[in-house]
Amino acid sequence: MPAVATEAPSIVEYRAWFQCIAGCPVHYSLQDIIYRCPRCGNLLEVRHDLERLRQHPPAYWKNLFDTRFLRNQWPYGSSVWGKKEMVCPEVDNANVVSTFEGGTNLFWAERLGKEIGVPELWIKQCGNSHTGSFKDLGMTVLVSMVRQMIAGGKEIPAVACASTGDTSAALAAYCAVADIPAIVFLPRDKVSVAQLIQPIAHGALTLSLDTDFDGCMALVQEICARNNIYLANSMNSLRIEGQKTVSIELVQQFDWEVPDWVIIPGGNLGNVSALGGGFLLMRDLGIISTLPRIACAQAQRANPLYQSYLNGFREFHPMQAQPTLASAIQIGNPVSVEKAIRTLQMFDGVVEQASEDELANAAARGDRTGLFNCPHTGVALAVLFKLVERGEIRSHERVVVISTANGLKFPEFKIKYHESRLADVVPQHGNFPVNLPADYTQVRDAIRRVLEQRRSGRLTAPPSPSRRGRESVP
Amino acid sequence: MPAVATEAPSIVEYRAWFQCIAGCPVHYSLQDIIYRCPRCGNLLEVRHDLERLRQHPPAYWKNLFDTRFLRNQWPYGSSVWGKKEMVCPEVDNANVVSTFEGGTNLFWAERLGKEIGVPELWIKQCGNSHTGSFKDLGMTVLVSMVRQMIAGGKEIPAVACASTGDTSAALAAYCAVADIPAIVFLPRDKVSVAQLIQPIAHGALTLSLDTDFDGCMALVQEICARNNIYLANSMNSLRIEGQKTVSIELVQQFDWEVPDWVIIPGGNLGNVSALGGGFLLMRDLGIISTLPRIACAQAQRANPLYQSYLNGFREFHPMQAQPTLASAIQIGNPVSVEKAIRTLQMFDGVVEQASEDELANAAARGDRTGLFNCPHTGVALAVLFKLVERGEIRSHERVVVISTANGLKFPEFKIKYHESRLADVVPQHGNFPVNLPADYTQVRDAIRRVLEQRRSGRLTAPPSPSRRGRESVP
């Protein structure tokens, strides 16, 4: 074991740059405003000087990351910046815009795991974060780099993104912290109320547009390209560098053991390559020696990657995504599809889908065991249940489900579920409030009735309209 | 420095018991179902064997807590259970019901602090937790003890609480994790939509009653007393033991330095005594040598403690709380008032109030700088602004504001604010979405207009109806 490293090593030595994912040889500075390869049009990715990183043995990195993890030394207490040498080494600490990212609970889902026969079931609660979703992990990197560029004299009048809700909340919050103008492009009536109010409250210019996410995505690219505005979507691979720390953190929370499976919901698909990127980097540096299998979970109504998976990824066809409760992944033309397919091929990956009924019931089933997650996590849980049922995931395997956002962003989804008001969903785990006067006897009787029902096991059944009518006094 | 303590000491040696806050000498087991002193009727509190705790020097405790903090050793990674010897030593680790409590960001509010001339302004983000409020800190202790009692053969058919929203969410979630029946008493139409759906989703029996919180509180006490149901309100001082860890964690996050001020919103007032309790315990053990001043922030419409403060705490009169946006502290007859007054007297305390206009504008001002907090945090921020303005808090002092819950629980509050639909509130920091077709030229022009306004400083003014009308295409 090396000595305990409490101080950051001299990180100016570490280098990273943009390079084309197809391998075109040119390097671009992370301070260049560039998202695609000028030669071939492919997306860029951030590459690191692996030789430099390999100068330290794996034990050095594990120890360094553990020493910094959630501690008080700015900015290394953030689980993203605690891995700074592998994320974005050139940002000055003074320019870091951070809300103490990562370190979210890796929740042992003991009850749910027992129910499905997979005792080692863990839910990575990425939604317990500053803006309520995993997007904080990447946005801290992007906005910090923007602050660095502005500090260096670069003219950046604003930062913009298209969003299905979570990205815009994160961009707006981080820009509010740093006092940088933010512009968010949202598809009108396709994000939740909570997701709409986040950028508004943070003072962002919030454009509510008569189109879907794919329309917003096309427009924001044109606006940014022609108006010198900086693009914050995940095609800007600075975001991916922050998001990839979720893999490192997962392994860190398992005392540097690799799980067997990671299940992640997929829409625009930047997160799939980010997840894979973290694992590959750790393997390249000898921090881990195996890779998990990755399952990408799509909503049946926005499943272009699933369709491609069915044909062995030989073809990919963008589609018109249909309205789905999993609104954040209602995306038919995912920007990061090529990176995602490449990742899935390296991780013995699986793509599976969930219907509206499946995702809503899976989310509610999770809630009954103490979770409180977004509908997209519902998609991932539904896919988990399917993979277990068909024996692809086996009972001795250690499984992690990435919960991408907090259920508090989606109260309408949950209320409508329990009120049986979701189209195409038959609630299997419904519950409802009992309205009563503040009267001792009536309250006591209601409690006795329900405890009796619970004892006899009847409470796990969905409420019948008649029982609901009897106990409700509207 | 003592050697690094990675293992828990043999904690069966540590002892704690219930004892009357008025000093009646009888000790009661923490497994007794008892909330008030049978002799004098006062509330009970948990007392610890301080002689035993003092057998270790302060450096031992600081090192032990730092070693465990947010690490992987169950259950000590939870910041509550990491301080187990001082919280609830007799719970077996196997009975602990935890979601990795505490460790929330102590956010340096750099922008807001600069605006008000208090550079050392810190916001303790207790709402970035499993159920979105600071209540998790106490509920993990209570529900763990219930699990222990049930495991020991005690007959506890259910656990119940009255709530203004946050307590019920926490009780329901922890009981769902542990598979224990939960019953929540909510005042009808006086909690937010998100707060109502939390216990429903977790499968709790959710009683929506035609009364206010004080009415729910009276009824739940009667129900519990006469039906052998365990009471989970903060008059059950097991909750206070968990909540007091917020003080220890605060100091820990400042490298064991004590801030000058802590501002906390106050309703039922259990949290004031919990906050004080943590500091007093640390002082008794020599971990700290000074105490902060505590400011309790009340909503003007539910301000019985403020009224009492004005007469030097000579008298206290319960009141009929009026409807307030700060719904979680709409309490006129606080159960823990005596403990709170005792605490404030020891901490050179201040009580201040905030009107509806003040609390809503303070919350929105915070949001503009990257926060996203509940209306009760708005009350605390408004009180901060007042105390700074009148020179009670001075510019060189280090100030911590306890943010009690996540703003995601209160989207309606925020939307109505920005739509100028809150009664008695004139928005000073309003913003609004701009509805547009997905058309390049129109979007570009809207962006240019707003960036130009921002450059000329006009964007900080509240939107005029005409401007709003011009930019909105409803």
Q: What is the pLDDT of residue A13?
A: 86
Nearest residue of A to residue B133 by CA position?
A128
| Candidates A196, A210, A459; nearest CB to B437 | A210
Note the pLDDT tens digit of each residue in A3-35.
444 445 444 589 999 999 999 999 999 999 999
3-state secondary structure of A36: strand
**Lookup result for tokens 């065991």:** A369
Can you read off the two tokens belonging to residue A6? 């409490």
Judge: B433–A72 Cβ closer than 8 Å, yes or no. Answer: no
Structural Rg of chain B based on CA atoms:
23
Note the pLDDT tens digit of each residue in A54-113.
999 999 999 999 999 999 999 999 999 999 999 999 999 999 999 999 999 999 999 999
Judge: B201–A414 Cβ closer than 8 Å, yes or no. Answer: yes
Nearest residue of A to residue B109 by CA position?
A177
| Candidates A193, A227, A446; nearest CB to B207 | A446
The answer for A 331-370 residues in CB contact with B (under 8 A) is 364, 367-370
Is the separation of the CB atoms in A384 and A401 below 8 Å?
Answer: yes
Q: What is the pLDDT of residue A474?
A: 26
For A352, list phi and psi in degrees, rounded to 5: -135, 160
Q: Mind telling me how many Å the CA of B184 is from chain A's nearest CA? A: 10
User: What is the spatial distance between Cα B446 and Cα B436, in angstroms, rounded to a whole number?
Assistant: 9
User: What is the spatial distance between Cα B425 and Cα B423, in angstroms, rounded to a whole number?
Assistant: 5
Enumerate the β-bridge partners of residue B47.
B17
Judge: A209–B443 Cβ closer than 8 Å, yes or no. Answer: yes
Dihedral-angle region of residue A225 (phi above 0 means left; psi in -120 to 50 means alpha; beta otherwise) = alpha
User: What is the spatial distance between Cα A203 and Cα B364, in angstroms, rounded to a whole number?
Assistant: 9
CA distances from B350 to A133, B335, B393 (A): 37, 19, 11
Residue A125: partners with Cβ closer than 8 Å, 6 or more residues away: A104, A105, A106, A107, A403, B130
Q: What is the pLDDT of residue A4?
A: 43
Q: With the C-alpha atoms ordered B258, B259, B260, B263, is the resulting torsion angle positive or negative?
A: negative
Note the pLDDT tens digit of each residue in A71-88.
999 999 999 999 999 999
Q: Mind telling me how many Å the CA of A379 is from chain B's nearest CA? A: 17
Half-sphere exposure of B337 (CA within 13 A, CB side): 20
Residues of A in contact with B144 (CB under 8 A): none
Is the separation of the CB atoms in A473 and A467 below 8 Å?
Answer: no
Q: Mind telling me how many Å the CA of B171 is from chain A's nearest CA? A: 10
> B345-378: buried (b, 16+ CB within 10 Å) or exposed (e) per residue?
eebebbbbbbbbbbbbbbbbbbbbbbbbbbbbbb
Is the separation of the CB atoms in B385 and B353 below 8 Å?
Answer: no
Is the separation of the CB atoms in A155 and B348 below 8 Å?
Answer: no
pTM of the model: 0.93
Is the separation of the CB atoms in A63 and A9 below 8 Å?
Answer: no
Residues of B in contact with A450 (CB under 8 A): 183, 205
User: What is the spatial distance between Cα B315 and Cα B296, in angstroms, rounded to a whole number?
Assistant: 17
What is the DSSP secondary-structure string of B426-458? Answer: --SS----EEE-S-HHHHHHHHHHHHHHHHTTG
**Lookup result for tokens 């309209």:** A465
Can you read off the two tokens belonging to residue B101? 């409590």
Residue B148: partners with Cβ closer than 8 Å, 6 or more residues away: B31, B90, B91, B92, B95
- Say if residue B5 is exposed, middle or buried (CB neighbours under 10 Å; 0-12, 13-18, 19+): middle
Question: Percentages helix, strand, coil for chain A, rounded to the nearest 5?
Answer: 45, 15, 40
Alpha helices in A245-303 (DSSP H): 245-253, 270-284
Judge: A208–B444 Cβ closer than 8 Å, yes or no. Answer: no
Of residues A293, A301, A309, the one with CA closest to residue A267: A301
pLDDT band at A458 (very low <50, low <70, confident <90, very high): low
Judge: B415–A110 Cβ closer than 8 Å, yes or no. Answer: no
Q: Sheet with A159-162: list strands edge to edge.
A: A230-231, A159-162, A182-187, A205-209, B434-436
Residues in chain A: 474
Residue B42: other Cβ atoms inside 10 A = 15
Of residues A416, A166, A160, the one with CA closest to residue A267: A166
User: What is the spatial distance between Cα A365 and Cα A388, in angstroms, rounded to a whole number?
Assistant: 16
Chain Cα centroid distance, residue B460 = 31
Judge: A411–B208 Cβ closer than 8 Å, yes or no. Answer: no
Nearest residue of B to residue A255 by CA position?
B72
3-state secondary structure of A316: coil
Q: What is chain A's mean pLDDT, rounded?
A: 93
3-state secondary structure of A148: helix
Percent of chain A, pLDDT > 90?
Answer: 90
Can you read off the two tokens belonging to residue A239? 């975001």
3-state secondary structure of B161: strand
CB-based contact (8 Å) between B419 and chain A? no
Note the pLDDT tens digit of each residue in A156-191.
999 999 998 999 999 999 999 999 999 999 999 888
Is the separation of the CB atoms in B431 and A205 below 8 Å?
Answer: no
CB-based contact (8 Å) between A174 and chain B? yes
What is the DSSP secondary-structure string of B92-150? Answer: -GGG---S------EEE-HHHHHHHT-SSEEEEETTSSSSSBTHHHHHHHHHHHHHHHH
Chain Cα centroid distance, residue A317 = 24
What is the DSSP secondary-structure string of A391-448? Answer: TSS-TTS-EEEEE-BBGGG-HHHHHHHHTT-STT---SS----EEE-S-HHHHHHHHH
Of residues B293, B416, B421, B425, the one with CA closest to residue B355: B425
- Say if residue B469 is exposed, middle or buried (CB neighbours under 10 Å; 0-12, 13-18, 19+): exposed
Is the separation of the CB atoms in B163 and A433 below 8 Å?
Answer: no
Is the separation of the CB atoms in B370 and A173 below 8 Å?
Answer: yes
> B103-117: buried (b, 16+ CB within 10 Å) or exposed (e) per residue?
bbbbbbbbbbbeebe
Residues of A in contact with B409 (CB under 8 A): 408
Can you read off the two tokens belonging to residue B396? 């060189």
Note the pLDDT tens digit of each residue in A390-442.
999 999 999 999 999 999 999 999 999 999 999 999 999 999 999 999 999 99
Secondary structure element (H or E) that encloses residue B296, with its range: strand B293-299
Q: What is the pLDDT of residue B458?
A: 52
Q: What is the pLDDT of residue A461?
A: 37
3-state secondary structure of B229: coil
What distance, in Å, lies between the first and last C-alpha atoms of chain A? 66
Give average pLDDT by consecutive 10-residue segment, chain B, 474 residues.
45 86 95 94 94 97 97 97 97 97 98 98 98 97 98 96 95 98 94 92 97 94 95 92 98 98 96 97 98 98 98 97 95 93 98 98 98 97 98 98 97 96 97 95 96 73 34 30
Can you read off the two tokens belonging to residue B185? 């008493």
Of residues A100, A48, A103, the one with CA closest to residue A78: A100
Chain Cα centroid distance, residue A224 = 24
Nearest residue of A to residue B411 by CA position?
A194
CA distances from A97 to A140, A159, A412, B129, B250 (A): 6, 14, 32, 21, 21
User: What is the spatial distance between Cα B345 and Cα B369, in angstroms, rounded to a whole number?
Assistant: 34
Q: What is the pLDDT of residue B13?
A: 86
For B427, list phi and psi in degrees, rounded to 5: -65, 125
Can you read off the two tokens belonging to residue A27? 């390097």
Enumerate the β-bridge partners of residue A424.
none
